Amino acid sequence: MDTKQTMIVAILLIGALPALSIYAWQTTPIYTVQNAIEAALQFVENSPTYSWDGVEGSIEVVEAYKTRNPNAVWEVVVAFTSANAGYGDRSDQIVATVITDHVIEVTVEGDSVTAAIIDEVWDEQGEAEARIDDTPHGEAEKMAIEFLKNGPTFSFDGIPGSIEVKDVIAAESYPVQYFITIAFECRHAGYGEREGQMLAQVITPHVIKIALSDDVIGSAIIDNQWDELIQRTVTVVFVISPDHAKDLAVQHVKNEYHELAEAPYPDEWTVSNLTPEGLVGATTLEFTGEGWRVEVHYAVVLEPIYNIKIEYDNDTGFLWEGQIDSEGNLIEP
């Protein structure tokens, strides 16, 4: 091949690269917080603990935040209630019949759940106790402390000697994921690099929760308010549960409609899941009791709007429809 031919081939190859890059970008999945929430909720609903005795309608998203950039890694915190004590499938166990509230932290990477720890003590994926690190000064702990010391918040005005490791949990996964809780104090209020700011000069206690795996810090959240990795405020969203939305709606109609003022409120509700099998992204629950029928329909999102239909079996054939937002506010048509 002569020089001219070589140059032509080179130009053709270079010209092909942009088209290849654009095509590759178009076919790369984009994972959002909504994808993460849906993956986490599906995992919880099918998990051994919730499947065994989870109370229908009790699942609610507490918060969701990105823990690693640019990779699509999210932490989704979900609360739910079980009818008995314990974790996992307890078919062969003697369990205490007591309503038990749980919080599960679900790590979603891409479209897969890579870790799920309940109450910081149970590995739901491995169906075993989350192993506590036997080495108080292990490598994971040292790495977390060094991260804190070198981070903008502690570097600015952290008090030497105030650092205290409160908890080290190692999930039995591969690679092992560590969840480390550290308390410390600063000489001023606030977070991050605060040079040039007007600051309250007051000893301020903090707690940082650090997650790391394979020598990489995945998340570092101070006081559930500040992301020390990316230096910005953490948005924590608290939403009411479908059961709570039902209670608010029923209380509203009892207060506003005189014909229901004396209607008995059920001591217990029967809950049925009316969601069509295979439907992902929305849920419909039916609550019945003492002549009441309440249907709650909502999209599975971080801050859902609950669409509620209330029927009461009396002579008037009472029917009410309205909405309750994720904070418990009434939205009537």
Residues 159 and 114 in one domain: no
Residues 251 and 277 in one domain: yes
Residues 228 and 293 in one domain: no
Domain assignment of residue 280, yes or no: yes
Residues 262 and 224 in one domain: no
pLDDT for residue 131: 65
Q: In the block, which residue shows the tokens 């690693």?
A: 68
Residues 39 and 98 in one domain: yes
> What residues contact 201, with CB distance under 8 A and at least 6 apart?
187, 188
The answer to whether residues 331 and 244 touch, using CB atoms and an 8 Å cutoff, is: no
Residue ending a domain, choose from 232, 259, 280? 232
Q: What are the pLDDT tens digits along the chain (333 aa)?
A: 444 444 433 333 333 333 333 333 334 455 678 888 999 999 999 999 999 999 999 999 988 877 654 456 788 999 999 999 999 999 988 888 899 999 999 988 877 888 899 998 899 988 888 765 444 447 888 999 999 999 999 999 999 999 999 888 776 455 677 888 999 999 999 999 999 898 888 999 999 999 887 788 888 999 988 999 999 988 666 678 888 899 999 999 998 898 888 888 888 889 898 988 766 678 899 999 999 999 999 987 767 899 999 999 867 689 999 999 988 888 866
Ramachandran angles phi, psi of 82, nearest 5°:
-110, 155
Domain assignment of residue 173, yes or no: yes
In 3D, which of 78, 104, 82, 59 has the Cα closest to residue 285? 59
Residues 248 and 216 in one domain: no
Residues 39 and 124 in one domain: yes
Residues 93 and 48 in one domain: yes
In this structure, is the dihedral angle defined by the CA atoms of residues 68, 50, 278 and 285, taken in order, positive or negative?
Answer: negative
Residues 327 and 314 in one domain: yes
The answer to whether residues 326 and 296 touch, using CB atoms and an 8 Å cutoff, is: no
pLDDT for residue 185: 97
Residue ending a domain, choose from 129, 153, 182? 129
Domain assignment of residue 8, yes or no: no
pLDDT for residue 11: 35
- 4 three-class SS: helix
Hey, what's the torsion of the CAs at 244, 250, 254, 259, to 10 degrees?
-170
Domain assignment of residue 25, yes or no: no
Got the DSSP string for 150-193?
Answer: HSHHHHHHB-TT--EEEEEEEESSSS-EEEEEEEEEESSSS-S-
The residues that bridge with 299 in the sheet, in sequence order, are 282
Domain assignment of residue 308, yes or no: yes
Domain assignment of residue 24, yes or no: no
Residues 102 and 118 in one domain: yes
Domain assignment of residue 153, yes or no: yes
pLDDT for residue 3: 42
pLDDT for residue 5: 44
**Cα distance between the two ends of the chain:** 77
Determine the Cα–Cα distance for residues 187 and 201; give it in Å rounded to an integer: 6
Number of domain units in the chain: 3
Residues 120 and 137 in one domain: no
Hey, what's the torsion of the CAs at 280, 123, 303, 299, to 10 degrees?
10
pLDDT for residue 333: 64
Domain assignment of residue 23, yes or no: no
In this structure, is the dihedral angle defined by the CA atoms of residues 270, 276, 281 and 282, taken in order, positive or negative?
Answer: negative
Core vs surface per residue 28-40: b (16+ CB within 10 A) or e:
eeebebebbbbbb
Residues 225 and 249 in one domain: no
pLDDT for residue 71: 53
Residue 63's domain comprises 31-129
Structure tokens at 224: 């559930």
Residue ending a domain, choose from 75, 109, 129? 129
